[in-house]
Chains A and B, each alone.
Chain A
Amino acid sequence: MTVAAGVLVDQVLQRVRDEHATGTSRPLVRDLLTHCQRLINAKLGLVIESIEYETVAKQCVYPLASVVPRALRIVGVQQGNRDLVEVKWQEFWYLHRAWLRDTGQRLENFALVGRDMLILYPAQPEPRTVTLRCAVTTAPLTSDDTPVEAPIEFHPLLVDLATVVGLVRQRTYLTLPELTESIKSRLA
């Protein structure tokens, strides 16, 4: 079931006590919902795409922006029907100090350096196809009819995030601590 952005815009405007959008415009609320939806997806990985990618021979470091420009983060990597095990990139040093140039018969691990660098270990002697499962940048909510991509059970969190920004913009702080704590607990 899809929900149109306008439904969430109405909820946010109601919560910031501006039902007629006199102080906070509907395009601004849609913009806030767009940003909040992307942040939630970056954190929780709700909207996922699978992308086939061909690795480079003898290379294990890949800048993500050139591989998947829409990626917010990698949530999994598969080679064939096998999942690579995610590790912290610093752990490669303990495995083998020459990990940057290690080659092996099959990929075993993946790691992220920050948000935009992917390590596929060990490098392969020949190019191989892997499937990258990525949380992707959701589409902007350009109109009230644009569907919200986040699953419906996360819409209350999305509305709360946009509401809290709307309240700060209005400089209405009374409910802010409670709302912020509620958001933090749901993101933990």
Chain B
Amino acid sequence: MSKASVLALAQELANTQASATNLDQFYDDVVKDVAQQALFNVIEIMDAPAGQAVYVKPDRTSQLLGVFFDDTMLSLVTLRELEATRPQWRDSVGRPVAYLIEDLGHDEFQLYPAPVTTGDPVVPVHGAPFGLDYPANTIAVLASEIREDMPDWLDLPLALIVLSREFARPSPHMDKTFAAACRQLGTLFLSMVA
């Protein structure tokens, strides 16, 4: 499985005409794009210090699918909704009921209101962080995961999409028709698993 097998398959399908360096780079780009489709996801617990409203998503995650505070799934709200509800919303502290991603860095989200108490630490007594060990008043984030090593059942669609990019770029071996055919097939195959 993994990047090596995708790149080997891509070279085989390209009759070894593709640039190995570019295939490598395009693979990294494609897995980031695939992460947007939320095929692979993670849920992670984050520290929640009292009074802190803005948080950074966990590493290697892309699309934010859900945010939990303690046991409650928070609503995604817009800046306009918050301003309409309470103009001084940025100063609010209490038990978070919503989160916001507008007007923040691409990897940030903001809780409303900011937590009034610091969340309990994760103490791995039972080895079940989302079971008996789940800490009180903490944040859990559900997000799509950017994986470098995809499962091997994705090798063919990934190889085709990588090839479509390699043969669409200006180069001595540029072939727009081949690139379009690879893109069409790669997209079709990816839709079979998405």
Evaluate contact between B192 and A42: CB separation under 8 angstroms: yes
Chain B interface mostly helix, strand, loop or mixed?
Answer: mixed
Q: Which residues of chain A are within 8 angstroms of B189 by Cβ–Cβ distance?
A: 39
Evaluate contact between B153 and A114: CB separation under 8 angstroms: no
Evaluate contact between A168 and B41: CB separation under 8 angstroms: no
CB within 8 Å for A72 and B153 given contacts A99-B73, A114-B40:
yes
Bitwise, B22-55 to A at CB < 8 A (1) or not (0) is 0000000000000001111111000000000000
Q: A178 to B54, alpha carbons, bound, how many Å?
A: 52
Evaluate contact between B128 and A32: CB separation under 8 angstroms: no
- A contacts with B, residue count (CB < 8 A): 44
Q: Which residues of chain B are within 8 angstroms of A72 by Cβ–Cβ distance?
A: 153, 193
Q: Which residues of chain B are within 8 angstroms of A102 by Cβ–Cβ distance?
A: 71
Q: Return A71 CB to nearest CB of chain B, in Å.
A: 10
Within 8 Å by CB of A183, from B131, B157, B178, B188, lies: B188
Q: Which residues of chain A are within 8 angstroms of B89 by Cβ–Cβ distance?
A: none
Q: Which residues of chain A are within 8 angstroms of B151 by Cβ–Cβ distance?
A: 137
Evaluate contact between A43 and B192: CB separation under 8 angstroms: yes
Evaluate contact between B193 and A168: CB separation under 8 angstroms: no
Q: Which residues of chain A are within 8 angstroms of B126 by Cβ–Cβ distance?
A: 57
B132 at the interface (CB under 8 A from A): yes
Within 8 Å by CB of B175, from A58, A92, A164, A171, lies: A171
Evaluate contact between B140 and A100: CB separation under 8 angstroms: yes
Within 8 Å by CB of A101, from B134, B144, B185, lies: B134
* Most central of A97, A115, A164, A183 by chain B CB within 10 Å: A115
Chain A interface mostly helix, strand, loop or mixed?
Answer: helix
CB within 8 Å for A57 and B71 given contacts A114-B39, A165-B13, A173-B181:
no
Within 8 Å by CB of B132, from A57, A98, A114, A184, lies: A57
Q: Which residues of chain A are within 8 angstroms of B184 by Cβ–Cβ distance?
A: 180
Q: Return B94 CB to nearest CB of chain A, in Å.
A: 16
Q: A58 to B135, alpha carbons, bound, how many Å?
A: 12
**Extra inter-chain contacts (15) besides given A38-B153, A97-B72, A100-B72, CB under 8 Å:** A39-B156, A42-B192, A56-B132, A58-B128, A93-B73, A98-B73, A100-B130, A114-B40, A114-B144, A123-B131, A137-B151, A165-B185, A168-B181, A184-B188, A187-B192
Complex A-B: 29 CB contacts under 8 Å: A28-B12, A35-B9, A36-B156, A39-B153, A39-B156, A39-B192, A56-B130, A56-B132, A57-B126, A58-B131, A59-B132, A92-B73, A97-B72, A98-B73, A99-B73, A100-B130, A100-B140, A101-B70, A102-B71, A113-B65, A114-B39, A137-B151, A164-B185, A169-B13, A173-B177, A176-B181, A180-B184, A183-B188, A187-B192
5 closest pairs, A vs B, by CB? Answer: A59-B131, A101-B71, A35-B156, A43-B192, A38-B153
